Amino acid sequence: MIQCIIFTIVAGFLSISLVQAEIKKPDIRWSTETKLGLFQPDLPDWSEYYGSQYSVMGSQVIAYKVFPFLEIGIDGSYIYSKGQGDLPLNNTRGGEVTLEYFPLSANLTLRGRVFKHQWLVPYFGMSIGQLIYLQEITGQASVQGYVNQNYVRIGLQFLLNHFDRKATRNLYDGFGVQNTFFTAEYMLMAATEPGSNTDLSGQALLFGISLEY
Amino acid sequence: MGRYRPPTPEASKYITPEGKKMLVEEHDFLWKNKRPKIVKKISAAAAEGDRSENAEYIYRKKMLREIDSRVRFLRKRLEGIIVVDAVPTVTFRIILLFSFFISVSWAGETVYNVPGEEYSTIEEALEAIGEKEFVAENSYVIEVEPGIYSLNIAIPADNITLRGKVTSRTFLKSDNDSADVINPIIDIDFVNNVKIENFTFIGSDLAIQINNIQENLDIQFNVFNMGAGNTAISFINNSPVSIKNNTFYDNQNAIDSLNLMVLINHNLLSITNNIFAKNDLAITTQVSEANISYSCLFNNTNNGALGFSSTTGAPLFVNAPENSGDNIYDFHLRADSACIDVGDINGSGDSITGDDADDAGAFGGATLDKHPYPALNVTAGDVTTTNADVVTYSITLSWDANESYVMQKDADTVGSYKIYYANQNFTREEVTTNQVTSQVEVTTSTTLTDIASTVVTPSPPVGINTSISNQLISVAWDSVENAIGYYVYYGINSTTENKSALLTGTSYDIEGVLNNQTYHIAVSAVTQETLYYAVSVIDAYANESYFEDDLIQRSRLSGELESELSDIVLAIPEQLVAYPELPNKSCFLENLEVYSSTELDNMRTYRDNVLKTNLVGQLLVDLYYLVSPMMVSLVERSTMLKEFFVSTAIMTLPLVIIMQESYLVVVFLWMIFLATIITCVPIYRLASR
């Protein structure tokens, strides 16, 4: 019975489309995503050096819709951590280490999109790219490098158009934005250097806003 | 963000039929009659070309804005207004009467001190006043503490007084002197009932610009020392202004007009009791002689319009700037000054001396600033120590005599000096709680005796802790009561090997230490008997100078009393190992393994000392370090590419060696090269898959 109710609700959300008299708008071709969240590196002792198992992450995606359910795009992210380093002789930790990642990718995203103004849109994506790292250590030369990086991600978009029709209309009139979504996303990122021990992989939970033009 | 203010309560919407008629008539006059005329004049002025220097265009535009503002105000007022044509009930009359008393009690003068708790700058205070709803009965005074203020302001509303607390120590100068546009320090435009008093205006294009004043602008008790090529006061048009008791010294033009066509002869214009000395032009002849009186003139290239009852002779200022150095502008008059008692015989009389005849200049007449100039060149002599049961000190202070004529009233009544001193630092506000000597008359030195010692040898600091990193040990400790400073001792074998300079804080970075060596570190505290003092001047009429906190000086009375060393702590500086340990691919040129370490170091020095000091260079460096890891990655994967880059690097080698002082050519060469590579990267990556 409970499964039946849940199925009905989900099916209802997925199938509800915006029924309103509106001006014929052009097909949606472009989308952008702006997200913020937390990145959890796979490295085991991370929290001992950086104080927390999580780092702050921001991400920006620009994509082109080949079909309503298929997008190709590029994205750039920024992950920031600040902590301490090892002092082996003193057998302690000290100093200040700043570690920044800049993942840059080309991505492919599949969206579970049936209707133009669907309330809930699940999606799945993957990418290939590179990750630039920059490690700055007080009083010492900084370390910079480059590793292969790719990710898979799954997420859910929630259409916000219905909450404020006036704002929706203004966004379309002013900027050509047809749909505005709240987005929640889980990302699994692999960032390794072939033939070396460097492994900057991790997982992230991101929340943000997606716009479709 | 400005301070939060609650919204202004809505004004009454009731009006009499006559009142409404007045508002409607004013609106119609402005909208249908005056505005079209102004618009036509603006069009005509605009047709003359170059609007930036077209005074007619600029001021007509401003007038238009004023009209539009008033029209908007009137329309808003007239919206939903209730015309009252019947006599109010008794109850309503009582309420009205009550409201009237409340409004009367609220109206009045509001004084703001700047910098103060409410507003830290003159601009902030003026902005806040400008935002207030205009009430004719309300007036605002901004009192400015002594200091140097760089600003360009416009007086935003009626009924504003801008007043310095001490004329000779409150300086105003322009914040934006431009070669193309004249920016007055104070622009007084379309406002009424304004006073500018007790300031010293210095070194700017123009001090005050006056335009379209309808009533009451007072510029009084100010000093204008704008310097060659600059103007003190400039009229845009004929306005009713009182320029009284000011000192104009060393200006290109003291009183002038930007508009050469205007005749300045307003029946309420008065230029009186001013000193004009060493100006190229004192008063432009555009000003009617009938409006000028009792000027004291000396050594001007051209006096211009003289007016009546003027005097000629040396004003004998106590300290003109060129004789006394920066920021010492003492335009008080000496005893034989030609400008004493030459002012308006019907004036208010000198408020300092109390005699009937006004002096000319900023400190004459009914001047508001009676402070003598503070004592100058206060110096302390040798300290004498008396080692009795209680150690005491004696010290002689001396200073320059104040030569203002108000330092002597008659044979028996002369000015004096007052010395404030204490063993601990104090501020002007605290001065009454500190020791004060009896006043010293006439003489310019005094010996302070029996100053009891209050300091003892301090205890050694505790809480020493160290933090270490690459070739650096950071030491911190708890502060010690009454310590004036600390020494840090350190060395590999003992603490006596090295000693820091006297430190005023409670932390110290020992730089350049050897990694992987054990250092011994200790800290000591230091005290010293110190005397803090200030000398104020009291003239023969009992007015005391206003000394700011920065005039309080200090002298050491005893040698340093140093504590024993603290407990010794050990520290081993070493290189930090970051987590995770990542391969460094930051320097592409280094990875090519073509340049020697000396050549690489030379290039890095050039990067830090030359490139990073300018924007373009910084951008080049940033760009290099952005693409460098990718380049390293590329050459690691392709032998052919590496050989190609190496051969290029070898070609630049002679340049690097020969042009040791100019690596910019090399950097540019590489940047062009890298830019080419960046464009090839996607192609390369696709091809390699």
More confident residue, B683 or A101: A101
Test B585 with A135 for CB contact under 8 angstroms: no
Q: CA of A45: which chain B residue's CA is closest? A: B579
Cβ–Cβ < 8 Å for B215, B194:
no
Highest mean pLDDT among A86-95, B68-77, B318-327: A86-95
- Say whether both B306 and B410 belong to one domain: no
Give me the DSSP letters along B276-334.
EES-SEEE-TTB-GGGEE--EEES-SEEE---BS-EES---EEE-HHHH-TT--EEEE-
pLDDT at position B224 is: 95
Mean pLDDT, range B333-345, rounded to an integer: 89
Q: CA of A81: which chain B residue's CA is closest? A: B579
Q: Between A88, A139, A193, which is nearest B469 by CB? A: A139
| Of residues A133, A138, A126, A130, the one with CA closest to residue A63 | A126
Question: Does the CA dihedral B260-B262-B265-B271 come out positive or negative?
Answer: negative
pLDDT at position B343 is: 85
SS3 of residue A126 by DSSP: strand
Amino acid (one-letter) located at A12: G
Mean pLDDT, range A150-162, rounded to an integer: 93
pLDDT digits (tens, 9 = 90+) for B418-468: 888 888 788 877 776 556 665 666 678 888 888 888 888 899 999 999 988
What whole-number distance in Å separates Cα of residue A181 and Cα of residue B489? 63
What whole-number distance in Å separates Cα of residue B153 and Cα of residue B256? 20
SS3 of residue B418 by DSSP: strand
- Say whether both B430 and B541 belong to one domain: yes
Q: Identify any residues that bridge with B15 across adjacent strands, giving them in sequence order.
A: B83
Question: Count of A–B CB contacts within 8 Å?
Answer: 96
Label residue B682 by pLDDT band (50, 70, 90).
Answer: low
| Of residues B590, B609, B598, the one with CA closest to residue B670 | B590
Cβ–Cβ < 8 Å for B648, B672:
no
Give me the DSSP letters along B519-539.
EEEEEEEEE--EEEEEEEEE-
Test B583 with A132 for CB contact under 8 angstroms: no
Test B468 with A87 for CB contact under 8 angstroms: yes
Residue B103 pLDDT greater than 60, yes or no = no
Give the up-direction half-sphere exposure of residue B440: CA atoms within 13 A in the CB hemisphere.
22
- Say whether both B629 and B503 belong to one domain: no
pLDDT at position B195 is: 94
Cβ–Cβ < 8 Å for B282, B304:
yes
Q: What is the average pLDDT value for chain A, to the nearest integer?
A: 86
Cα-based torsion angle of the residue sequence B253, B258, B261, B265 in order, rounded to the nearest 10 degrees? -60
pLDDT above 90 coverage of chain B, percent: 30
What whole-number distance in Å separates Cα of residue B547 and Cα of residue B300? 33
What whole-number distance in Å separates Cα of residue B105 and Cα of residue B354? 35
Considering only A131-135, B13-17, B580-584, which range has the smallest mean pLDDT?
B13-17
Looking at B305-460, which runs of residues are DSSP E strands? 311-312, 317-319, 330-333, 379-387, 391-398, 416-422, 435-436, 440-441, 445-452
pLDDT digits (tens, 9 = 90+) for B561-572: 899 999 999 999
Tokens describing residue B179:
């070669």
Test A132 with B626 for CB contact under 8 angstroms: yes
Domain at B26, CATH number: 1.10.287.180
Where among B75, B104, B133 does a domain terminate?
B104
Amino acid (one-letter) located at A75: D
A97 to chain B: which residues are within 8 Å by CB? 576, 578-579
B386, part of any domain: yes
Q: How many Å lie between the alpha carbon of A43 and the closest alpha carbon of chain B?
A: 8
A200 to chain B: which residues are within 8 Å by CB? 580
Backbone angles phi, psi at B485, to 5 degrees: 180, 180
Where among B290, B313, B336 does a domain terminate?
B313
Q: CA of A47: which chain B residue's CA is closest? A: B579
- Say whether both B549 and B567 belong to one domain: no
Considering only B115-124, B383-392, B474-483, which range has the smallest mean pLDDT?
B383-392
- pTM for the model stands at 0.56
pLDDT at position B80 is: 72
With residues binned 3-state (H G I as helix, E B as strand, rest as coil), the percentages for chain B, rounded to 5, are: 30, 30, 40
- Say whether both B58 and B192 belong to one domain: no
What whole-number distance in Å separates Cα of residue B218 and Cα of residue B206? 17
B352, part of any domain: no
Distances (CA, A) of B427 to B168, B327, B437, B675: 20, 21, 17, 61
Residue A16 pLDDT greater than 50, yes or no = no
Residue B324 pLDDT greater than 80, yes or no = no
B127, part of any domain: yes
b/e map B123-144, b = 16+ CB within 10 Å:
bbbbebbeeeeeeeebbbbbbb
Asked if the C-beta of A194 comes within 8 angstroms of chain B's C-beta atoms, the answer is no
Q: Which helix (H) or strand (E) holds A124?
A: strand A120-137
Cα-based torsion angle of the residue sequence A165, A171, A172, A174 in order, rounded to the nearest 10 degrees? 140
Label residue B125 by pLDDT band (50, 70, 90).
Answer: very high
- Note which residues in 532-591 of chain B have CB less than 8 A from chain A: 572, 574-580, 582-586
Residue A6 pLDDT greater than 70, yes or no = no
pLDDT digits (tens, 9 = 90+) for B131-190: 887 777 788 999 999 999 999 999 988 889 999 999 999 999 988 766 667 788 999 988
Print the domain residue range for B476.
465-530+563-571
Considering only B98-107, B410-419, B438-447, which range has the smallest mean pLDDT?
B98-107
What whole-number distance in Å separates Cα of residue B455 and Cα of residue B391? 10
- Say whether both B406 and B430 belong to one domain: yes
What whole-number distance in Å separates Cα of residue A51 and Cα of residue A41? 13
- Say whether both B187 and B279 belong to one domain: yes
Where among B81, B104, B127 does a domain terminate?
B104
A140 to chain B: which residues are within 8 Å by CB? 469-470, 575-576
Mean pLDDT, range A147-169, rounded to an integer: 90
B362, part of any domain: no
Q: How many Å lie between the alpha carbon of A107 and the closest alpha carbon of chain B?
A: 15
- Say whether both B543 and B633 belong to one domain: no
Q: How many helices (H) and strands (E) does chain A have?
A: 3, 8
Test A140 with B574 for CB contact under 8 angstroms: no
More confident residue, A150 or B23: A150
Residue A17 pLDDT greater than 70, yes or no = no
- Say whether both B518 and B476 belong to one domain: yes
Q: Between A86, A96, A196, which is nearest B577 by CB? A: A86
Mean pLDDT, range B565-586, rounded to an integer: 89
Residue A4 pLDDT greater than 60, yes or no = no
Cβ–Cβ < 8 Å for B255, B283:
yes
- Say whether both B213 and B159 belong to one domain: yes
Q: How many domains would you assign to chain B?
A: 5
Q: Between B470, B472, B579, which is nearest A49 by CB? A: B579
Considering only B19-23, B125-129, B312-316, B445-449, which range has the smallest mean pLDDT?
B19-23
Considering only A37-46, A79-88, B88-97, which range has the smallest mean pLDDT?
B88-97
Residue range A31-212, CATH number: 2.40.160.20
More confident residue, B316 or B584: B316
Test B470 with A198 for CB contact under 8 angstroms: no
A96 to chain B: which residues are within 8 Å by CB? 469
